């Protein structure tokens, strides 16, 4: 039995949820999201909450049960609060700045990197060494943050690069004489 899957997803105040077959669409104050679930789980709207159940007792259906419930819960959080990821830039001369609809990164390369921000995502730079990625779709926010981090991952000797806020960088000792 899935401990997560058993819990119904409550629909918060000011949010409307609609279940149409395997598609769940949610509309709230921040926007509208929808997701399609696999056919081996059933979805229903009962007593102001979305309930997910496996169609049979197979391993696949039980595995998709908790995942489907979590995807629906992420939709509810996204349209009410939204998601945010913070990135920190460490290194001499490394900085970021907004340039029109793109993010201009100065990361020690011979050229500046300009990252085009996709629709539905908002990127801000409160400080030149800090990037805040926010939006209503958790997957998109995480993907954009990962793509920005990919330009210069933190290295283990000096810790230079782009890292997530709160991320621990395993440090190595340099070579000895």
**Predicted confidence (pLDDT) per residue in 76-128, tens digit:** 999 999 999 999 999 999 999 999 899 999 999 999 999 999 999 999 999 99
Domain of 97, CATH number, reads: 3.90.930.12
pLDDT in tens, 125-155: 999 999 999 999 999 999 999 999 999 999 9
Question: Do 35 and 62 belong to one domain?
Answer: yes
Q: What is the pLDDT of residue 1?
A: 62
Q: Chain-wide mean pLDDT for the chain?
A: 92
- With a cut of 80, say whether residue 2 has pLDDT above it: no
3-class secondary structure for the chain? CCHHHHCCEECCCCCEEEEECCEEEEECCCCEEEEECCCCEEEEEECCEEEEEECCCCHHHHHHHHHHHHHHHHHHHHHHCCEEEEEEEECCCCEEEEECCEEEEECCCCCCEEEECCCCEEEEEEECCEEEEEECCHHHHHHHHHHHHHCCCCCCCCCCEEEECCCCCCCCCCCCC
Residue 173 is assigned to a structural domain of this protein = no
Q: Quick check: pTM over 0.85? A: yes
Domain tally, the chain:
2
Residue range(s) defining the domain that contains residue 65: 3-80
Residue 134 is assigned to a structural domain of this protein = yes
- With a cut of 70, say whether residue 163 has pLDDT above it: yes
């Amino acid at each position: 039995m899935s401990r997560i899957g058993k819990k119904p997803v409550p629909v918060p105040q000011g949010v409307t949820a609609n279940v149409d077959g395997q598609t769940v669409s949610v509309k709230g104050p921040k926007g509208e999201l929808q997701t399609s679930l696999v056919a081996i789980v059933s979805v229903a709207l009962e007593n102001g909450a979305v309930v997910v159940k496996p169609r049979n007792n197979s391993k696949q259906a039980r595995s998709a049960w908790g995942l489907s419930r979590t995807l629906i819960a992420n939709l509810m959080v996204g349209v009410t609060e939204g998601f945010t990821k913070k990135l920190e830039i460490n290194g001499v001369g490394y900085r970021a700045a907004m340039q029109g609809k793109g993010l201009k990164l100065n990361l020690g390369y011979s050229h500046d990197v300009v990252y085009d921000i996709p629709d539905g995502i908002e990127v801000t730079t409160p400080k030149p060494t800090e990037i805040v990625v926010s939006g209503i779709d958790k997957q998109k926010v995480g993907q954009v943050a990962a793509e920005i981090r990919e330009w210069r991952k933190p290295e283990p000797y000096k810790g230079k690069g782009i890292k997530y806020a709160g991320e621990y960088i395993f440090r190595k000792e340099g070579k000895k004489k």
